[in-house]
Amino acid sequence: MSHVAYVNGRYLPHKHATVHIEDRGYQFADAVYEVTCIWNGLPVDHASHLARLRHSLTQLRIPMPCSEAALTALQREVVRRNRVTRGTLYLQVGRGVATRNQPFPSKPVKPSLVMVAKHGAGPSEVVAQAGVKVTVQPDIRWGRVDIKSVGLLPNVLAKQAAAEAKAFEALLVKPDGNVTEGGAANAWIVTKDKTLITHPLSNAILGGITRATVMRLAKTAGYQIQERAFSLDEALAAKEMFLTGTTTFVLPVVQVDERTIANGSPGSVSLDLRQRYLDYVNALDDTAWAPI
């Protein structure tokens, strides 16, 4: 649990951290967010998260609440005050407070800024080494998934279905039978010749920060990568499947509903990439806080 939250210029005890009733993020989901993994007290891919935040805000025509240097200083202080060594830093920027009306406010308002830091980062290594189950759910999200909006009700429903199926994640599938991604992670499959396949960047998926880092690490290691759509049938027949995400890192998938992937155990490629990613985050130093 976060003990200290940052809300619009104030550090507050978590239980007293509130926003105005007419904050547009609360009323219209007119806000975006980022979740950064904190590992050994340092942010993972901080500059990339800032870049994605800029993209989301630009697409919704919400101004940055402050300079990136100032924002970084605030983030660092939230992590420090909560004494988070391994956990997550949540940041949300909204259009601000205005009388309830769906069009943008006629007069400029100050963007809202909220941050919390929490202990704990994803599944244990024991879970990762065993692999996880996912459940197939229809992808009913809006057409601009590349914007990291707080409007996550379709994701909530998919994740609830996963929880009820005793699965770690929901695998989202379009009506054409193609897999887009998970409810909170990007999805990958590995072919028999060890080629990695993941959905290309588009408005249909969120451009995962961990996805990009794993792609870079995989290319450096000599793996072949195809960014293309793949079907659920292709996924079920794959040699391996895995997820990438801020807190999941690289997480092998061994079961889709009642179907096992290959022999039902994490594959060598998934485990190799997970180790490479762990090596990457364990090598971070204080330059990880650099905003550019």
Average pLDDT over residues 46-64: 98
What is residue 291's predicted lDDT score, i.e. its pLDDT?
81
Instruction: Give yes or no for residue 273 having a pLDDT over 60.
Output: yes
Integer-rounded Cα Rg, in Å, for the chain is 19
In order, the DSSP letters of the chain are --SEEEETTEEEEGGG----TTBHHHHH--EEEEEEEEETTEESSHHHHHHHHHHHHHHHT---SS-HHHHHHHHHHHHHHHT-SSEEEEEEEE--B-SS-SSPPSS--PPEEEEEEEE--SS-HHHHHH-EEEEEEE----S-TTS-BS--HHHHHHHHHHHHTT-SEEEEE-TTSEEEEESSSEEEEE-TT--EEEPPSSTTS---HHHHHHHHHHHHTT--EEE--EEHHHHHTSSEEEEEETTTEEEEEEEETTEESTTSS--HHHHHHHHHHHHHHHT--GGGG---
What is residue 6's predicted lDDT score, i.e. its pLDDT?
98
Average pLDDT over residues 6-13: 97
Q: Which CATH architecture has domain 125-282?
A: Alpha-Beta Barrel (3.20)
Average pLDDT over residues 103-125: 94
Report the percentage of the chain scoring pLDDT > 90. 97
What is residue 1's predicted lDDT score, i.e. its pLDDT?
52
Q: Which CATH architecture has domain 4-121?
A: 2-Layer Sandwich (3.30)
Indicate the burial class of 87 (C-beta count within 10 angstroms; 0-12, 13-18, 19 or more): buried
| Total Cβ atoms within 10 A of residue 231 | 15
- Residues ≥6 apart with Cβ < 8 Å to 121: 37, 38, 39, 86, 87, 88, 247
Taking all residues of the chain, what is their mean pLDDT, rounded to a whole number?
97
Instruction: Give yes or no for residue 267 having a pLDDT over 70.
Output: yes
Quick: pLDDT tens for 170-223: 999 999 999 999 999 999 999 999 999 999 999 999 999 999 999 999 999 999
**Rounded to whole angstroms, how far apart are CA atoms 242 and 188?**
5
Quick: pLDDT tens for 137-169: 999 999 999 999 999 999 999 999 999 999 999
Average pLDDT over residues 86-96: 98
Q: How confident is the model at residue 2 (pLDDT cuts 50, 70, 90)?
A: low
- Residues ≥6 apart with Cβ < 8 Å to 281: 37, 39, 40, 44, 249
Average pLDDT over residues 60-68: 97
Instruction: Give yes or no for residue 292 having a pLDDT over 90.
Output: no
Question: Which of these is catalytic: 107, 118, 133, 148?
Answer: 148
Quick: pLDDT tens for 230-246: 999 999 999 999 999 99
Average pLDDT over residues 101-113: 96
What is residue 176's predicted lDDT score, i.e. its pLDDT?
97
Q: How confident is the model at residue 122 (pLDDT cuts 50, 70, 90)?
A: confident
**Rounded to whole angstroms, how far apart are CA atoms 43 and 71?**
13
- Residues ≥6 apart with Cβ < 8 Å to 13: 3, 4, 5
Average pLDDT over residues 54-67: 98
Domains in the chain: boundaries: 4-121, 125-282
Active site residue 148: yes
Average pLDDT over residues 115-142: 95
Average pLDDT over residues 91-116: 97
